[in-house]
Chains A and B, each alone.
Chain A
Amino acid sequence: MKFVDEFREPEVITKTAEEIRRLADPARHYRIMEVCGGHTHAIYRFGLKDLLPANIELIHGPGCPVCVLPMGRIDDGLSMAQQPGVIFTAFGDMMRVPGTQGSPLEHKARGMDVRIVYSPSDALKLAQANRDKHVMFFAIGFETTAPSTALTLVRAKTQGIHNFSVFCNHVTIIPAIRAILDSPDMRIDAFIGPGHVSTVIGCRPYEWIAKDESKPVAVSGFEPLDILQSIVMVLRQLKAGDAKIENQYKRVVPWEGNRAALKAMAEVFELRPYFEWRGLGFISQSALRIRDTYAQWDAEQRFEIPGVRVTDPKAAQCGEVLKGVLKPHQCKLFGKECTPERPVGALMVSSEGSCAAYFNYEHRKTEMVTRIASVA
């Protein structure tokens, strides 16, 4: 397995890590939240924590769509798939997420028509090819995937494809950040902003975090150097007593976002009054639902769903881990009953979930430190 050898400009990495050590006030403890699950994965994968001084703590944020979805919604989705003539489609990431009666994959093993699609437009294609069936697409994701679902629904309407519906579980990142800042047991000094979500929403939606909450934000890319540079950006701001939005990922993220994507979302979706997040509870205006003008393609309108709230298995402490109150290994089930092979909680399912990332990479820590030291 190669890690450090593949780093672009390892000497720049070392210099950036030194810069971080110089900027961090030893008398202070910094809590920096990386919002995006992709960043969490990269941080563990590259062992970046070990390049940071001990007083910089990275808190893993809520930006893993699979992880924040409450189990009741999975049950709701699977209940639709139990109707005769329904084909249940979802991204591969969803397939091993446990519902109370098992995951979509386990339902498939029991004979349900469950299929992986890699794009919502393929679910629509499946509907066109199976006119005698109803194809339901279980849509999840933040603003990175929501525009694609939206455009797929626009196409379904334009092309008059009526044996297709979307079970919409799209969530939006800004209200989740607000909920975290409002939560009394969370103290965050600065944010590493999500890279791909920001290609859609741009940087403007984060401005209140700097203006009203006086917290620095750096929208970041996913390479080790990107993440370290973003940490430098927020530390510089904290040192100078500044709070502003910086765009470290300018090469991909335009300040204004992607207008066509925002337009597609506005055409098809509206905000739900509230939505339940695993670990964070109900957050107002934090998720999208399908507008009435697209009601025919809204699975929640077409099917009766149980809509039952399901509490997580008692012993699993997904909520605490998700809020950063507990580290993954401090959960009672971590690595014992709950592993990536047999996940109990959603944080163990996705590679972007902090438990899976911690499980997969933390034990390689020693090797990483040794190799980085040899580069320096």
Chain B
Amino acid sequence: MCLAIPGQVVELYPDQPNAALIDVVGVRRKVDLGLLQDNLPVKGDWVLIHVGFAMSKISEEDALDQMRTLRMLGEAEAAMQEVQGYGLENADNKKVS
């Protein structure tokens, strides 16, 4: 829950200004951009994600550092599990979306 997960914006949706497709080490999930309304990312930007919401824009270098920090903390697996779970796709309940 307290993990800050770095990801890269790979797609924006013209009809959904509050959403972006984010790539986190190959796993792609839709995240919410509502908390970056003042400073919306563009395709290729890196963001830190908390519980499915992009919270800050960061540099690519800082994104890579953050991924390494998660690995060092032994939390990379939990982070990937979290990302895979976004959209209820990998939660321990039936798939709903």
State the A residues within 8 Å of B (CB): 3, 6-8, 37-38, 41-42, 45-46, 65, 91-93, 115-122, 125-126, 129-130, 140-141, 144-145, 147-148, 151, 154-155, 196, 199-200, 221-224, 251-252, 254, 258-261, 264, 351-352
Contacts and interface: CB of A to CB of B under 8 A. Distances in A.
Given A252-B62, A258-B56, A91 B51 contact: yes
A6 B1 contact: no
B74 interface: yes
A258 B69 CA distance: 23
A118 B58 contact: no
Contacts of A93: 1-2
Contact of B2 (A38, A148, A155): A38
Question: 3 closest A-B pairs (Cβ-Cβ)?
Answer: A119-B52, A118-B85, A129-B96
A118 B52 contact: yes
A347 to B, nearest CB: 15
Contacts of B50: 144-145, 148, 196
B72 A223 contact: yes
Contact of B55 (A91, A154, A200, A222): A200
Interface string B1-41: 11010000000000000000000000000001011111100
Nearest to B95: A129
Interface in B57-97: 58-59, 62, 65, 68-69, 71-75, 81-83, 85-88, 91-93, 96-97
Contact of A119 (B71, B86, B92): B86
B63 to A, nearest CB: 10
A115 B92 contact: yes
Interface residues of B, number: 40
Given A125-B88, A141-B1, A151 B58 contact: no
A116 B97 contact: no
Contact of B93 (A41, A115, A352): A115
Given A45-B72, A91-B1, A151-B35, A117 B85 contact: yes
A92 B80 CA distance: 13
Contact of B73 (A120, A140, A222): A222
A160 to B, nearest CB: 17
B32 A148 contact: yes
A41 B75 CA distance: 10
A254 B92 CA distance: 36
B58 A129 contact: no
Contact of A125 (B34, B39, B68, B97): B97
B59 to A, nearest CB: 7
A311 B44 CA distance: 51
25 contacts: A8-B65, A8-B68, A42-B73, A91-B1, A115-B93, A117-B85, A118-B81, A118-B86, A119-B51, A120-B52, A122-B87, A122-B88, A129-B96, A144-B50, A145-B2, A151-B34, A196-B55, A221-B69, A223-B65, A252-B58, A254-B56, A258-B36, A258-B56, A259-B38, A260-B37
